[in-house]
Amino acid sequence: MDSSVERAVIVTGAGKGLGAAFALAMASEGAAVLVNNRLRQDQPDSAGAIADTIRAQGGRALANYQDIAAPGAAQALVKAALDAFGRIDAIIFNAGIIGPAAKLPDMDIAALRDVLNTNFLAQAALAQAALPHLLASPSGRMVFVSSSAGLHGVRGRIPYAASKGALNAMALTLADELKRTALRVNVLCPYAATPMTAQDGVADDPRLDPAYAAGMAAFLASEACSANGQIFLAGGRRYRRARMVEGRGASAPDDSSAWIAAHLDRIAAMDGAREFSGAEAAFADLYATIDMTNTGG
């Protein structure tokens, strides 16, 4: 292990946009960074450029060109970080693709598989490969970069929204499974103007510079972060937390759908809504309120 490295971080998809901002932010706080971004034919070496920038500023960085969706990529990324820095303390899982825009009738199932493979399955593989090393760190951190599309859905982007919803569910489950360890797992849903969000003829909003969401990524990947199993949104230096919640609901006196139709407003009401630490806790809460003698309360 390289004793000169106090904290080593992998940032995937770090050649441009949000990933580049995250890598630069981590380096500015003293971390050694493996700057991962696949190298496309006839395209500039964006990962190398970010690594060069970090080194020019006195930091420590190494470019990595692994395509995270390729077979064996997770193991190769972990090995590259260990070979370079001797340890892995945090991963910012940023690499992802948006996929083609299409509503369900026109959606290409092959494209759906591609998006799920990159945005979910590749992330799971990297998390699995790196887990022993993150657990060996005194302050291991996983930061899964997701999207509000995975919270609320987004028109015309079923593959992307589904992949990010799956990512959110995996991250929250991991956080629950690992809560008795020093490893902390959280989700970041950033808003930023990036090559992925660019529209022809539309100028980027300067308030949505990727750097303005990078502070939250750097915090979640840091030793200072004690949060676990949380979803944070960030953009324009504005931050807030998101969570799935359940309302109080209501109990029916019989099995008819007519009662549900007549009382749907009460069933759907969100006053007094609460969040739960996991699906088991949510079920236990509902189960405790079951009253088979109820007459419609």
Q: Please check the confidence at residue 1 and state whether its pLDDT lies above 50.
A: no
- Residue 160 falls in the annotated catalytic set: yes
Catalytic residue selected from 160, 191, 212, 287: 160
| Phi, psi for residue 9 in degrees, rounded to 5 | -130, 140
Task: Give 8-242's CATH code, choosing from 3.40.50.720, 3.30.505.10, 3.30.1490.20, 3.30.470.20.
Answer: 3.40.50.720
Q: What would the two tokens of residue 110 be?
A: 């092959």
Q: What is the mean pLDDT of residues 10-22?
A: 97
Q: Please check the confidence at residue 199 and state whether its pLDDT lies above 70.
A: no
Residue spans of the domains in the chain: they are: 8-242, 245-288
pTM over 0.75: yes
Neighbours of 94 (CB within 10 A): 27
Neighbours of 2 (CB within 10 A): 13
Average pLDDT, the chain: 93
